[in-house]
Amino acid sequence: MQITREELEQRLRRASEVRRALRRATNRFLAFGEQLMRERYPAKVDGAEPR
């Protein structure tokens, strides 16, 4: 199957959009988790006992 240059460029743009969205989502949830995890699973190095 052959595709035109425009189609190829469109597909690459779309793949790039999806990758950016996935990276944004992952980073959002990493940041969201930081506080939740500190509260629920305090690190032993802080001198706190596990829940």
Does the footprint of another protein cover residue 12 (CB under 8 A)? no
Cα separation, 10 vs 24, whole angstroms: 21
Does the footprint of another protein cover residue 28 (CB under 8 A)? yes
- Phi and psi at residue 50, to the nearest 5°: -60, 150
User: Among 23, 12, 31, which residue's Cα sits nearest to residue 4?
Assistant: 12
As measured in angstroms, the least distance from the Cβ of 30 to another protein is 5
As measured in angstroms, the least distance from the Cβ of 34 to another protein is 8
Amino acid symbol at 35: Q
Binding site for another protein (CB under 8 A): 17-18, 21-26, 28-30, 32-37, 39-44, 50-51
